[in-house]
A and B are shown apart, each in its own frame.
Chain A
């Protein structure tokens, strides 16, 4: 069964600090996809990144970076030089590889609420 664990329920940092959000996943599949979504107070889900299980390269996008470690089943997300606008709930999610139907739902972690204090 698929499971995503985000052990950090809430994190508070002061603006300009770096912060890492942890994500640990479980799956029996050898092919799977990992995601991070941001949910600001307005409620929408904003897609941040998708990573497939065969690509362990770390990725950097501006102030955001992701560290995928298959050996520890972790897909951590780091925000450098945090800003007040980064305040949101961040969800890590897991999806199986596509099957014949072409549809696969996302399994979400419980989310980490990040508060960036000015």
Chain B
């Protein structure tokens, strides 16, 4: 079965650079979530999109932005990278059916900021 695809899987950037992470949800899933997991931490919700509109916002820095495109894939854009942005970034997708909310997680993108 198709799963959530994230690219790239690994990314190394310098401080103050920009990075773009991509997420391709499971086919027919209309909801995408982004989570950030720092070293030794639990995943923290950043932002979500439902039907290409921003649905909810968590602890996402102003330096980050995201969007969901017409084909439902999503991109997380990160600018002015800081050392503290080094983390595992997960994308998850779900189908926004009432009463069912299983989020399927992608394998994550490991971002290292040097």
Contact = CB atoms under 8 A, between A and B. Distances in A.
**Residue of A44, A91, A98, A105 most packed against chain B (CB within 10 A):** A105
B80 interface: no
A7 interface: no
A111 B42 contact: yes
Contact of B110 (A33, A43, A95): A43
B108 interface: yes
B98 A102 contact: yes
A3 to B, nearest CB: 12
Contact of B33 (A43, A103, A111): A103
Interface in B17-36: 30-31, 33, 35
Nearest to A113: B40
A110 interface: yes
A106 interface: yes
B105 A47 contact: yes
A45 B90 contact: yes
A36 interface: no
A45 B105 contact: yes
Contact of B56 (A33, A52, A91, A101): A101
Nearest to B31: A103
Interface in B38-80: 41-45, 48-51, 53, 55-56, 58
A107 interface: yes
Contacts of B53: 101
Contact of B43 (A33, A45, A50, A101): A45
12 contacts: A45-B108, A47-B102, A47-B105, A91-B42, A102-B30, A102-B50, A102-B55, A103-B50, A103-B56, A103-B96, A110-B42, A111-B42
Q: Which 8 A-B pairs have the closest CB atoms?
A: A102-B96, A103-B55, A105-B45, A108-B42, A103-B50, A45-B105, A101-B55, A103-B48
Given A43-B88, A43-B107, A102-B31, 6 more contacts: A91-B43, A105-B56, A106-B103, A108-B44, A110-B41, A110-B42
